Structure 1
């Protein structure tokens, strides 16, 4: 979805929708325990952070380019 036609919000919404549709949830390890991120609001925050980190990593590695 990182082809320039989708916003970060679109990508986050896509992953939240996948979780809701498939009755799935991402998880975090907190104090050594796996904790599911089940609420839609928490999933939005989780995926927003994850996508922001991914975009930053890709930018640093010059994986995005301008095409004239």
Structure 2
């Protein structure tokens, strides 16, 4: 059976978990390998968790540029 739909890759960036350079490099390699039709990169927006695990606007922009611009 051949998949004929669209493949959407979504990832949430979490401070202290996957926001370091090595993790970003690995995510970028995964994106290249699976070649999704659409990429969604999110971050924690819930105020309860944002203080401990959220990332700054500047860091989020850096990560977006690293992942979306090859």
**Fold agreement, TM-score > 0.5:** no
Higher relative contact order (CA 8 A, sep 6+): 2
**Structure ranking higher in strand proportion:** 2
How high is the TM-score relative to the length of structure 2?
0.30
Larger radius of gyration: 1
Point out the structure with the larger helix share: 1
